[in-house]
Copies of this chain bind each other. A is one copy, B any other.
């Protein structure tokens, strides 16, 4: 049984020399993961690719799992920061405009090095098995929730938490599906437009053929007072 991935480092690099070693190991790991996948990526192979000895690798990373977790964290931190930047920048825009820009941004972030995104995405379930709680996804969900909260009265879904869950997973999953099965879609503006239509159509209050007036029935629409009740706990 390999040791837990939870303690992130075995020894902190103090000199710049060792910091460079750490970086080399991390980027080499990403490179080997991209080239061979997780199973074929042995730690000896990663060390060789990084140009360091296997011993050095285990000076800074507690296990193969810990190493992969570190790569994941570096990658997700960066992605999340980019996303947050986009989100705050677009906060005052109308929803369709902001959404279109955000989806374009998400797709663009995968277009550069799609294979790494793919490998890391497919590694996520294993991270969960290793007990690494996915803080990043929680932060992402909180960010989207905060973005949507001021607009809560203009959108259809009564349960905001569920709506955010659905939106985040929809966009993420479709981007990943495109990366691994239809790379051509990533370059196709139609795909981004359709993703946008999907999410907007989900948020848009129901349109009935009778214009403006309330249609035949909107049984699932709740008053603001009841909204809180239905909402799931913050988790």
Contact = CB atoms under 8 A, between A and B. Distances in A.
Interface stretch (A9-17, A25-33, A49-57, A197-205): A197-205
A197 B125 contact: no
Nearest to A176: B173
Contact of A180 (B125, B182, B190, B206): B125
A59 B207 CA distance: 60
Nearest to A158: B190
Contacts of A166: 174, 194-195, 198
A227 to B, nearest CB: 12
Contacts of A232: 184
B169 A177 contact: yes
Interface in A177-235: 177, 180, 182, 184-185, 190-191, 193-195, 197-198, 200-202, 204, 206-207, 211-212, 220, 230, 232
Given A207-B204, A230-B190, A177 B165 contact: yes
Nearest to A210: B211
B122 A194 contact: no
A157 interface: yes
A73 B165 CA distance: 30
Interface centre among A156, A158, A159, A162 (most CB of B within 10 A): A162
A112 interface: no
Contact of A162 (B162, B163, B191): B191
A170 interface: yes
Nearest to A203: B201
A174 B173 contact: yes
A163 B194 CA distance: 8
Contact of A177 (B37, B158, B173, B195): B173
Contact of A125 (B122, B172, B206, B212): B122
Contacts of A159: 190, 194
A207 B186 CA distance: 27
B194 A157 contact: yes
Given A163-B194, A211-B211, A202 B202 contact: yes
Given A157-B194, A201-B201, 20 more contacts: A118-B125, A156-B197, A158-B190, A159-B190, A162-B191, A162-B194, A165-B182, A165-B185, A169-B173, A169-B174, A169-B177, A173-B174, A194-B202, A197-B206, A198-B198, A201-B202, A202-B202, A204-B207, A207-B207, A211-B211
